[in-house]
Amino acid sequence: MAENGTDCDQRRIGMIKEQHNGNFTDSSLLSERKRRDREERLNIVLWRQPLVTLQYFFLETLINLKEWTIKLWHRRSILVSFLLTLAVLTATYYIEGTHQQYVRYMEKKFFWCAYWVGLGILSSVGLGTGLHTFLLYLGPHIASVTLAAYECNSVNFPEPPYPDQIICPDEETIEGSISLWAIISKVRLEACMWGAGTAIGELPPYFMARAARLSGAEPDDEEYQEFEEMLEHAETAQDFASRAKLAVQNLVQKVGFFGILACASIPNPLFDLAGITCGHFLVPFWTFFGATLIGKAIIKMHIQKLFVIITFSKHIVEQMVSLIGAIPSIGPSLQKPFQEYLEAQRIKLHHKSDSGVPQGENWLSWMFEKLVIVMVCYFILSIINSMAQSYAKRLQQKMYSEEKTK
């Protein structure tokens, strides 16, 4: 009997091991298949499969339009209220009266703020790759205002043409009367709006991780999968990148609001991980978004503004140009276009375009314009590729579902 009992136990253990090995094998096969599918999706790009990519992009666009239409139909009461409000605002905009001066002022401010909020969202979301709008738009805007402020000894640029064009005011000014705080105040609105846009752009990782935690699903998102793997191997992490990610995750999880605020207040390439962490551990929305908004739109933006303003202050710029000229052999040839550019800006600020100095386009400004065009084109291409890959993911998920039902 004892021998029979022992044999039964051994057979039971053997069956459990076989079942475990079978599950392990199935899990390994599933992981391998997911990896191959992900690699296959990543190959769907315009420069490798242009026709397939464009086809998938248009199909994904149609599906998204259909989904948005259905969502709007389910929320038709909100849509009707929005349309009525829009009709009232449109009537107010076109009806003549003494209120028109306030309407024009609000219109100008609204579109100016919406422009910078939109650029902030593009910088943060990117649909696969961020458009670096601080380097391309906000940074140059702050730099141009700083250079103009030191040249004009004032920030009271006439409106219009400011902000489309900066011209020194006709008022008499005292040399050296401009202060750092005056320049910071001049660009505070656009900088804070851009920072608010970047805070809004951090919401998708938070909502994705929160929805995955509440539903128990496993989204096929590389950052979320990397986050779950990091949690599984937290104790064995050795490399610097993994430890840095763990430090961000622990700070956000344990400190809460002030931990999120600390991560959002400094230039932090790992902040997406903070959003995923907050969503995964079900941190309340306003705790996450409030700390992110304060950190990015107020604290971080003032740090970045201060850096740009100090870098482009008059004496720093003059020192940098002189240092460029001190480079052996090529220094004078490199220094010349910078000097020409600064001189052209001074002439433009004082509205002396009819003076005898030639107004030809400087190669520095030409190169920057072409860089902006290239970055925007690459951003558009990345959106097309990302949406095409989303459609390919739909097809793969449909194939999974069909195989499960067989």
Q: Which residues contact 59 (CB under 8 A, 6 or more apart)?
A: 391
Dig out the tokens for 214 from the structure.
Answer: 């509440």
- The CB density around residue 203, as the number of other CB atoms within 10 Å, is 18
- Over residues 354-360, mean pLDDT: 46
In 43-153, which ranges are continuous DSSP H helix? Answer: 50-74, 76-94, 100-124, 133, 139-152
Dig out the tokens for 157 from the structure.
Answer: 């640029």
**What's the CA angle centered on 356, arms 352 and 357, to 5 degrees?**
80
Q: Does the model's pTM come out above 0.85?
A: no
- The CB density around residue 272, as the number of other CB atoms within 10 Å, is 19
Confidence of residue 193 (pLDDT cuts 50, 70, 90): very high
Task: State residue 236's pLDDT score.
Answer: 57
Q: Which residues contact 278 (CB under 8 A, 6 or more apart)?
A: 206, 209, 210, 252, 260, 287, 288
Task: State residue 226's pLDDT score.
Answer: 58
Confidence of residue 204 (pLDDT cuts 50, 70, 90): confident
Longest dimension (CA), the chain: 113
Dig out the tokens for 177 from the structure.
Answer: 């009367």
Nearest to 307 by CA among 187, 391, 167, 399: 187
Confidence of residue 113 (pLDDT cuts 50, 70, 90): very high
Confidence of residue 357 (pLDDT cuts 50, 70, 90): very low
Dig out the tokens for 219 from the structure.
Answer: 């989204």
d(CA 340, CA 30): 62
Confidence of residue 221 (pLDDT cuts 50, 70, 90): low
Per-residue model confidence as pLDDT tens digits over 368-401? 778 778 877 887 888 888 888 888 888 888 887 7
Per-residue model confidence as pLDDT tens digits over 85-106? 999 988 888 888 888 888 888 8
The mean pLDDT value of the chain amounts to 77
- Over residues 232-244, mean pLDDT: 58
Highest mean pLDDT among 169-178, 264-273, 293-302: 293-302
Q: Which residues contact 306 (CB under 8 A, 6 or more apart)?
A: 180, 184
Better pLDDT: 254 or 222: 254
Per-residue model confidence as pLDDT tens digits over 44-54? 888 888 899 99
d(CA 271, CA 262): 10
